[in-house]
């Protein structure tokens, strides 16, 4: 059976899926047609029901729960992994000085890595005053700040390891905000499978992704060339930092803590009317 599978070219995803798509584990006859796309493109694909299995932001998943089950394996979720809001400007220039509740100046232009990203959801929860947003590829945000095209940048992935060396400042760690606000881990992205796929195959895919993660943990250098190829210009040190930050025990199984964090994200998104009032995680 052939299935379409979408994930990003970022090191955490290529690390997770290397063994699965390169037959380093027994896939029991399953074959995968792989689509490498940035997370916001994958979010759009999910809205279009384009792929059988896909990585997507948890915020995006909240909008497609009727069509996709959430798999227990393959997630990017944890503590200390949240998106950062950064700037070229001195932090003192960015905050309202007369506001009783500390908030950022609402006219500031913010570069975001996608409307449906969990990063954008966390930003909306933490700073709803920021409405002037510009959607751009996540890897373009740092340059947009350096070129004064935007005032603030919402960064994800490997940019958290590179921004400081470029003279940019951290304004807010939205992961810390979320952890203090809820006491929960930060659910960034998960793996979903379309409900059109037979139940037996859904469960097999979930099992195989877990096995692929376990293989990667046991053989961390096995997919090095594949990972580096898709990481393009990324420094090897940054690649390792990226994998170590975003791939963890939650990537093998969400477990009780992981599911609780996703439930909290959906709850706060419903309270703020950012998702449908009937949207709840649909775990496989």
User: Which of these is catalytic: 22, 28, 35, 157?
Assistant: 157
Q: Within the chain, which residues score under 70 in pLDDT?
A: 97-101, 233
Same-domain check for residues 61 and 94: no
Same-domain check for residues 225 and 249: yes
pTM for the complete prediction?
0.92
Q: What is the pLDDT of residue 90?
A: 87
Q: Express each pLDDT in 118-143 by its tens digit.
A: 999 999 999 999 999 999 988 899 99
Give all strands (DSSP E) within the chain, no chain letters.
Answer: 2-7, 31-36, 53-57, 68-70, 76-78, 84-87, 110-112, 133-135, 152-155, 169-173, 186-194
Asked if residue 279 belongs to a domain, the reply is: no
Which residue, of 182, 200, 224, is where some domain finishes? 182
Same-domain check for residues 70 and 194: yes
Q: Express each pLDDT in 147-179 by its tens digit.
A: 999 999 999 887 888 898 999 999 999 999 999
- Closest CA relative to residue 76, chosen from 25, 8, 24, 163: 8
d(CA 189, CA 260): 15
Helix, strand, coil distribution of the chain in percent, nearest 5: 45, 20, 40
Number of domains in the chain: 2
Same-domain check for residues 42 and 159: no
Range of the domain at 217: 2-78+186-271
d(CA 114, CA 201): 31
Residue list for the binding site for substrate = 55-57, 118-119
Q: What is the pLDDT of residue 98?
A: 56
Residue list for the binding site = 55-57, 118-119
Q: How far is CA 58 from CA 10, 125, 179, 188, 279, in A?
A: 17, 14, 16, 6, 12
Burial class (CB in 10 A: 0-12, 13-18, 19+), 239: buried
22 included as an active-site residue: no
Same-domain check for residues 41 and 73: yes
Same-domain check for residues 73 and 211: yes
- Closest CA relative to residue 168, chosen from 95, 85, 240: 85
d(CA 200, CA 205): 9
Q: What is the pLDDT of residue 279?
A: 96
Q: Domain containing 108 — which CATH number?
A: 3.40.190.10
CB 148: neighbour CB atoms within 10 A?
Answer: 10
Q: What is the pLDDT of residue 233?
A: 63
Which residue, of 182, 206, 231, is where some domain finishes? 182
d(CA 48, CA 55): 14
- 3-state secondary structure at position 208: helix
Asked if residue 276 belongs to a domain, the reply is: no
β pairing state of 152-155 and 84-87: antiparallel
């Amino acid at each position: 059976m052939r299935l379409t599978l979408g994930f990003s070219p970022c090191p955490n995803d290529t690390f997770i899926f290397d063994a699965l798509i390169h037959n380093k584990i027994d896939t029991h006859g399953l074959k995968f047609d792989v689509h490498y796309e940035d997370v916001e493109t994958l979010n759009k694909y999910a809205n279009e029901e384009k792929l059988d299995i896909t990585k997507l932001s948890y915020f995006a998943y909240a909008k497609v729960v009727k069509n996709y089950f959430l798999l227990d394996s393959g997630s990017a979720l944890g503590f200390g992994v949240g998106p950062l809001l950064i700037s070229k400007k001195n932090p003192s220039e960015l905050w309202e000085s007369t506001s009783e509740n500390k908030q950022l100046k609402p006219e500031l232009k913010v570069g975001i890595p996608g409307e449906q990203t969990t990063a954008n959801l966390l930003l909306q929860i933490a700073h709803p005053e920021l409405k002037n947003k510009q959607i751009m590829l996540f890897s373009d945000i740092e340059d947009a700040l350096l070129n004064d095209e935007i005032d603030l940048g919402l960064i994800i992935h490997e940019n958290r390891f590179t921004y400081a060396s470029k003279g940019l400042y951290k304004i807010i760690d939205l992961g810390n905000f979320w952890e203090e606000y809820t006491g929960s881990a930060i659910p960034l992205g998960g793996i979903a499978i379309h409900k059109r796929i037979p139940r037996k195959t859904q469960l097999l895919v979930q099992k195989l992704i877990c096995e692929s993660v376990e293989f990667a943990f046991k053989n961390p250098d096995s997919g090095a060339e594949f990972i580096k190829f898709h990481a393009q210009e990324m420094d090897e040190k940054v690649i390792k930092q990226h994998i170590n930050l975003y791939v963890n025990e939650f990537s093998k199984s969400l477990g009780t803590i992981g599911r609780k964090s996703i439930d909290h994200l959906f709850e706060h998104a419903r309270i703020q009317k950012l998702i449908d009032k009937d949207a709840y995680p649909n775990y496989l």
